[in-house]
Structure 1
C-alpha cells in the first residue's frame, strides 16, 4: 500500500468515526439520512481502496 493510499484510508476512517459519533446525537430525520448516506459512501470508498475496481482492458483496435 502506498503512502497516498494510507493517507486516504486514514481520512476515510476519520470520517467514518465522525459520522458514527454524530449519529449518536439528537438529529432530525433529514440529518440522520444524510449522515447514514455519507457513512455508507465512506465505507464503500474504504472497500474500493482494499479492492480497486478492475481496469478496463484495451481491445484490439479500440481506445479506452
Structure 2
C-alpha cells in the first residue's frame, strides 16, 4: 500500500515538473491556461496524497537564545 502511494506521489511530482517546464516554452494563451489548470490539479492531488500518506507533522524545534546579555561586539 505504501509503495503504491509513493509511486503516485512520484508521478504527481514528475507531472508537476513537466508542466512547469512546459510553461517556460512558447504557448498560446489557451495552451497556457490548460497547462496552468493541470498544474494546479496536480499540486492539489500531491498535497492531498502527501497529507494522507504522512499524516504526522512535526513542528521544527524552536531555538531559544539562552543568553541574558547582548552579544559582545568585536568592534571597539
Q: TM-score range by the shorter chain?
A: 0.7 to 0.9
Taking the TM superposition and a 5 Å limit, the aligned residue runs for 1:1-64 are 2-52=2-52
Residue 19 of structure 1, CA deviation: 0.3
Q: Which runs of 4+ in 1 moved over 2 A?
A: none
Q: Per residue, is there more helix in 1 or in 2? A: 1
Taking only aligned residues, the RMSD between alpha carbons, in angstroms, comes to 1.2
TM-score scaled to structure 2, two decimals? 0.65
Separation in 2 of the partners of 1:33 and 1:2? 34
Give secondary structure in 1 for the equivalent of 2:19.
helix
**Larger Rg: 1 or 2?**
2
Query: How many correspondences in the alignment?
Result: 52
Residue 35 of structure 1, CA deviation: 0.2
Separation in 2 of the partners of 1:10 and 1:49? 11
